Amino acid sequence: MFSRVSLAAALSVGLAGAAIAQGQPAAPEAKAAPAEAAKPQRSCFFNRDIRGFAAPDDKTLYLRVRTKDVYRLEMMGRCPDLDWENRIAIDSRGSSSICDAVDATVLVRGPIGVDRCPVKSITRLTPEEVAALPRKAKP
């Protein structure tokens, strides 16, 4: 049995070598694996670059960053008065750079003090997604 396996392995190596020597591929190329789902690029922004916001409901916040970038922040839960406030603040951990949801907490003034709303996800929108936003959601 061992000699048959050795002979088969030697034969396949020999055939592969002959095919390569003739300029042909040794074996048919495997089809390229399907591209992994494109992961959104990690993009960061600074608190100082926020130019406006819109909150269509109490779980979603859109931020205008610099002149053209728009980010969607999804809250972990309901953030009372988020959709009614004219002013909010973003508290960032460690520095003023926000790259991940754990970096930011939205602060909203409520009737009995400031509500701290943890962020579940941050997504940078494409220009097409920004154009498709309803008027109430555009920052």
For residue range 58-84, list pLDDT tens digits in order.
999 999 999 899 999 999 999 988 988
Q: For 58, phi and psi rounded to 5 degrees?
A: -90, 15
Please give the pLDDT value at position 90. 92
Q: Rounded distance, CA 50 to CA 101, Å?
A: 16
Pick the most confident of 2-6, 7-11, 42-46: 42-46
Question: Is 51 within 8 Å of 101 (Cβ atoms)?
Answer: no
User: What pLDDT shows up at residue 82?
Assistant: 92
**Minimum mean pLDDT range among 24-38, 94-108, 125-139:** 24-38
R_g (Cα) of the chain, nearest Å: 27
At residue 112's C-alpha, the angle toward residues 122 and 57, to 5°, is: 35
DSSP H helices, 61-137, are 127-132
Tell me which residue of 80, 75, 89, 78 sits closest to 118, measured CA to CA: 75
Inform me whether the pLDDT recorded for 98 exceeds 60: yes
pLDDT: is 5 or 89 the higher one? 89
**Which stretch of 15-19, 36-40, 47-51, 96-100 has the lowest confidence by average pLDDT?**
15-19
At 85, which amino acid appears?
E
Torsion of CA 54, 119, 48, 38, to 10 degrees: -90
pLDDT at residue 121 greater than cutoff 50: yes
Structure tokens at 6: 């050795």
Tell whether the model's pLDDT for residue 16 goes beyond 50.
Answer: no
